[in-house]
Every structure is written in C-alpha cells, then in structure tokens.
Amino acid sequence: MNGARYEYLPVYKKALEVAVYFEKVVRGFDKYHKYTVGTDLRNLSRRILTVIAKANVKEERISHLVEALDKLQELKILLHLCKEIKAFRSFSSFEFASRSVIEVAKQCEGWLRSQNS
C-alpha cells in the first residue's frame, strides 16, 4: 500500500485517531478488562484502519467499505458492552469513543453511497 494514497483521506485520519485513542484509553482499564475487551477494542480498531486503507483501491473499494462498516458495527457493540461493564474510567471516555466511531461509520457510509451512484 502506498502511504500517499490513503493517509490523507479524512476517514483514514479519523479511523487512525480512533485506533490511537483505544491504544491510550485501554491502558487505564483494570487488568481484567485490559486483556479481554481492551484487546478486542485495540485489535478491531486496527483492523478497521487497515480495511479503510485498502478501500482506497478503486477495484476493491465497495467490498472493503462493506467490511469496514461491518467491523464498525462490531466495534459499536463492543463499546456498548464496555460501558455496561464499566471498563471505561469515565463516561466521557466512552462518549468520545462512541462519537468518534459513529463519525468514522458515517464517513464510510457516505463514501459507499458515492460509489453506488
């Protein structure tokens, strides 16, 4: 993958911000949550970032965007679980994460709609 081809995409930048945020916020999880749901958050956010980068290849864009949206839905469910089990140190951490994931999903949805036009 050529860095210049996807690094400047707004959706890639936002997904990178989300992945970096999870890397940082999971450090604050208690030991049990850090190695269970925390690991899942980190892995899933990195997978989404990779799939978005791959979506920049026009021939495979639609399938990668569909995959990204599927993974984003998984991430939303995992975030909800983390909120319910109080893995986040504060509600504001959960709220920021949720808003950010929703923003990435909206950008992916818009990109996908533009491909189907």
Residue extents of the structural domains in the chain? 3-115
84-109: average pLDDT: 97
Return mean pLDDT, the chain: 94
Nearest one of 95, 66, 59 to 79, comparing CA atoms = 95
CA atoms within 13 A on the CB side of 103: 15
What digits encode the pLDDT tens for the residues 29-81?
999 999 999 999 999 999 999 999 999 988 889 999 999 999 999 999 999 99
Residue 117 has pLDDT above 90, yes or no: no
- What's domain 3-115's superfamily in CATH? 23S rRNA-intervening sequence (1.20.1440.60)
DSSP structural state of residue 117 = -
Within its chain, how far is the Cα of 108 from the centroid?
A: 11
Q: Is 116 helix (H, G, I), strand (E, B) or coil?
A: coil
